[in-house]
Chains A and B, each alone.
Chain A
């Protein structure tokens, strides 16, 4: 069985010292180890951004696609081989800006994959513009007079889109986040985890201490994760910031509806000599 160190990549990590992405990386590796996964059966799929570099920093198969498109790629990988563990991960810009459409559709499909947003409320890689999750009024390079729009609320989007597992974690609480990610991966169906990820370079106004002050754990206040409406109420809280599982429900997953991959994943199907006579018959 694999241990955390089996998921250690040989490459130097290029994130800023103190970046919240480190905590997410440690938690992700911890979750894989906790679930006893083998590196070759895991694919980490990302888009582009600071957070998007994560496939290189973890020893599994990786797919570092284009900005905002981690989820379609992850969907293709999962449907091609649903025996793999597929984790899509990317920034708040990646998932809620350019890729918002895919985010909603991936949630409603209830694919058995996990999607993590590294939510630092900023475009990190492109050196500090407002992101769709940046709260109204925040001054960034692209919004010198303050962001004029209300932010997107990722857990609320996931709940609205029909996700069957919706959670939020904090990169400063690695044991809690590890557990959340492990539960998300173990969940049969799509799991969405929004992760508070302090950006120490471009969001100095959002330091670890502020998150620590504001957050509380849902499991400590008797929240019932089977109650969708209660989940919505928690998701829209602004004064205090809940972390933990907002919502979890069991529903048939996308691949349950595909009879021909019950016994073996698509990639294992023999294609050496396909008989097309049935198809041709229709055109005779």
Chain B
């Protein structure tokens, strides 16, 4: 019997679209988190078959984790295909839970003698509890039973998550899960290798990038959301709409992304914190309005969750290929801020920063997410203890405006940032214009005014503190490391796990994660690159777009780039072996 494995587990749930794979996965993950564990949860759609096969992957551990590493210990097969596709991914001593009435030949399909086949009449048991559709609840109960998890955990979680659906639904699902939990006790001759023991820890949350971005936006005082649905950003619209009344946020589903971008520009001009969210296709439609925000110096926040392009591309797959697009989108030159958070926690923090920076420098801020980050959940601790300041920059109060005389909305100032007033305030009448203008906002095509205005706007980004935009460093210390591995955005999550794998093998690798693409932390990045002879960049695109940006901003060209653009996120093992191959081979 394999060694017992306490509080560490990898699970995969697979089934046809519509069988509740993602719902069950999230529920399972939250139950593990309730036991005091750190959890990663992410959904995945394997490419090897056509249509409709969904999976949800979970990893739990007693220490902070950011990505799934290693083989699976438990497979919840909600259909036969799941056994076919994923049995080979199980570790020795792992288990498959499946419906023994529906899959009679599981042993033959799995073709493995080193795993447990935990067959139960899932559907039949669900029917006895109140309805066949709850067969997935039975499977979940069984999975928890196998790992000796207290049934109360799942009972409480189901009660909480499904309370909206009515007590009947909750009770029936609890009964179904209980049946699975009890049946699992007699399902194995010996004990299952994984055991989950309760650890008492302060409450944590389990959030994906979109959920954490919304948390940050609400905390930052976002009051207006205009959005047109597009995967993988749509859950931002749903979450905001769901909390519209709780938090006093007007959430407007618009006729298109052009309307969304122009609406938030109007709302921001009128003085509220406003945002939209979209993916690359929708962002394409927002591009003209982005320039309007730039020239009119209107603080707007745009979340862009990348998926595979160009055009409709691969709608549910991930990519990091919009970096150069968002950096350069729209005609002419104007300052913009582009932030690419690396994990859900950074989504929360950077969403707040985005709204503050937008008002501080009066320019559009783009938060660049991707499908992988938008839909990967991690355990987040102590969000509430992160200090949050609401910085409204040079927005004038009503009292200040009452005293104002000869107010100039686009006044030249040493930092390029002008005082800002909003409609309804006295003594501040001006036109917020898409045309080039003078200090009052009146159209001007005079050559010297043009140059002065371009320079004024460009200067504003300097007001953003360097500490805020600095890259983060991980892994081996600056002086001991042999290699610098560079990444940006969501690649941080697998990178951090890769560093652990490398450290276990005694390889001293340091990682630099770049969050701010604009303004670019040139000094810090150049400094790091010049102190390493060996460096490599990992990016989810085919053109090494961040490498180009680094070269443009620092003159350093990172010779080696490991690029992935098949729609799938990096795996920690893959990053680690690429580094070993390149530098330790």
Contact = CB atoms under 8 A, between A and B. Distances in A.
Interface of A: 11, 39-43, 45, 48, 53, 55-56, 59-66, 69, 71-81, 83-84, 101-102, 105, 258-261, 266-267, 269, 271-274, 276-280, 283-284
B203 A284 contact: yes
B187 interface: no
A274 B221 contact: yes
A72 B270 contact: no
B169 to A, nearest CB: 18
Interface in B412-446: 422-435, 441-443
Contacts of B434: 48, 64-66
Interface of B: 30, 203-207, 211, 214-215, 218-221, 223-224, 226, 243, 245-248, 250, 252, 254-256, 258-274, 288-289, 291-292, 383-384, 390, 422-435, 441-443
B80 to A, nearest CB: 33
A258 B260 CA distance: 19
Contacts of A41: 423-424
Contacts of B262: 65-66, 69, 72-73, 76
Given A64-B434, A76-B266, 8 more contacts: A61-B423, A62-B432, A64-B431, A75-B252, A75-B266, A80-B272, A258-B250, A283-B211
Nearest to B157: A284
With most chain A CB atoms within 10 A of its CB, the pick from B245, B247, B384, B424 is B424
B384 A280 contact: yes
Contacts of A260: 245, 248
A65 B298 CA distance: 11
A40 B270 CA distance: 12
6 contacts: A65-B262, A65-B265, A69-B289, A79-B267, A269-B248, A276-B219
Nearest to A44: B431
A43 B245 contact: no
A279 B433 CA distance: 37
With most chain B CB atoms within 10 A of its CB, the pick from A43, A84, A283 is A283
A64 B435 contact: yes
A25 to B, nearest CB: 14
Contacts of B248: 260-261, 266, 269
Nearest to A41: B424
B226 A279 contact: no
Contacts of A48: 434
B308 to A, nearest CB: 27
B440 to A, nearest CB: 9
Contacts of B431: 55-56, 61-64
Given A77-B269, A271-B221, A279 B215 contact: yes
Nearest to B265: A73
A83 B424 contact: yes
Contact of B423 (A69, A71, A79, A84): A84
A40 B259 contact: no
Contacts of A65: 262, 265-266, 292, 434
Contact of A102 (B220, B221, B255, B442): B255
Nearest to B204: A284
B429 A102 contact: no
B403 to A, nearest CB: 14
Contact of B429 (A45, A59, A74, A272): A59
Nearest to B205: A283
A125 B253 CA distance: 32
A230 to B, nearest CB: 29
A40 B263 contact: no
B224 A79 contact: yes
Contact of A276 (B30, B215, B442): B215
B245 A76 contact: no
A69 B257 CA distance: 11
B424 A101 contact: no
B551 to A, nearest CB: 34
B22 to A, nearest CB: 15
Contacts of A101: 255-256, 259
Contacts of B259: 69, 71-72, 75, 101-102, 105
A71 B263 CA distance: 8
A74 B219 contact: no
A55 B432 CA distance: 9
B129 to A, nearest CB: 26
A45 B292 CA distance: 14
Given A43-B423, A81-B270, A84-B424, A72 B250 contact: no
A253 B138 CA distance: 49
B35 to A, nearest CB: 13
B274 A61 contact: no
A79 B252 contact: yes
A194 B555 CA distance: 57
A72 B221 CA distance: 22
B223 A72 contact: no
A208 B224 CA distance: 44
Contacts of A84: 270, 423-424
Contact of A79 (B207, B250, B430): B250
B267 A56 contact: no
A187 B355 CA distance: 36
A67 to B, nearest CB: 8
Contact of A274 (B247, B271, B422, B424): B247
Contacts of A102: 255, 258-259
With most chain A CB atoms within 10 A of its CB, the pick from B243, B273, B426, B431 is B431
With most chain A CB atoms within 10 A of its CB, the pick from B223, B246, B261, B442 is B223
Nearest to B379: A283
A76 B270 contact: yes
A79 B267 CA distance: 7
Contacts of A259: 245
Given A76-B263, A278-B246, A266 B443 contact: no
Contact of A267 (B214, B246, B254, B424): B424
Contacts of B224: 76, 79-80, 266
A129 B501 CA distance: 66
Contacts of B442: 11, 56
With most chain B CB atoms within 10 A of its CB, the pick from A64, A71, A72, A266 is A72
Nearest to A48: B434
A105 B255 contact: yes
Contacts of B267: 76-77, 79-80
A280 B250 contact: no
A96 to B, nearest CB: 15
Contact of A72 (B30, B258, B428, B443): B258
A231 B204 CA distance: 61
Contact of B266 (A40, A63, A105, A274): A63
Contacts of B264: 76
B206 A283 contact: yes
A76 B383 CA distance: 31
A93 B273 CA distance: 31
A101 B218 CA distance: 30
Contacts of A11: 442
Nearest to A255: B250
Contacts of A105: 254-255, 259
B223 A39 contact: no
A71 B265 CA distance: 12
Given A56-B431, A267-B424, A81 B292 contact: no
Contacts of A267: 223, 270-272, 422, 424
With most chain B CB atoms within 10 A of its CB, the pick from A39, A45, A84, A266 is A266
With most chain B CB atoms within 10 A of its CB, the pick from A55, A101, A276 is A276
Given A105-B255, A266-B248, A277-B384, A77 B266 contact: yes
Contacts of A42: 423
B265 A76 contact: yes
